[in-house]
Amino acid sequence: MLALCVLATSCGEAPTPPFAVVQSYLNDIGAGNYDAACGLLDRSAREAPLKAAKPRITCAKVFLRCLPDNVIKLAHDQTQLLYASIQVNVKGHTASAVVGGTVVARAIRNVTLADQQGTWKLTSYGKAVRICRLNKARRRG
């Protein structure tokens, strides 16, 4: 039985739990690594705000346009990310997460995820993007 467990864990990667996906998302945003943050979103979630933007923009530019200045400036100081709190609620193949405790987490506040063939993907950007009007000038504050 023990050999079977070792064999099962050595053949491929273990699935990333939703908590780790949310933590990576917050870390990527805090580091200003918006392309990596975009990679954690599923395709439909990633593209939804892009379709509404005139002129068209990239996923990374959604963060630049929608996140408050105090979040964007944190790319130089990732130490504050150590204090984010993440509470994940999993129901079958979907999950929701409430985040707080840091400037980045307060801008995001909550996200949703879905298990897509064994890989957890974010199905929402979080509050900062949800309330953002992409056709207007970049939000300040």
- Residue 72's pLDDT band, with cuts at 50, 70 and 90, is confident
What would the two tokens of residue 38 be? 């975009």
The more confident residue out of 50 and 137 is 50
Residue 73 confidence (pLDDT) = 75
pLDDT in tens, 22-39: 999 999 998 899 999 999
Task: Measure CA 122 to chain center.
Answer: 6
Residue 138 has pLDDT above 80, yes or no: no
Residues for the chain: how many in total? Answer: 141
The residues with which 100 forms a beta bridge, in sequence order, are 85
What would the two tokens of residue 47 be? 């593209």
- Residue 82's pLDDT band, with cuts at 50, 70 and 90, is low
* 82, 105, 111 from 68: Cα distances, Å: 20, 12, 17
- Residue 1's pLDDT band, with cuts at 50, 70 and 90, is very low
Global pTM?
0.83
Q: Which of 6-10, 45-49, 133-137 has the highest mean pLDDT?
A: 45-49
Mean pLDDT throughout 66-91? 79
- Show the domains of the chain with their CATH numbers: 16-130 (3.10.450)
Residue 139 confidence (pLDDT) = 47
SS3 5: helix
Residue 13 confidence (pLDDT) = 56
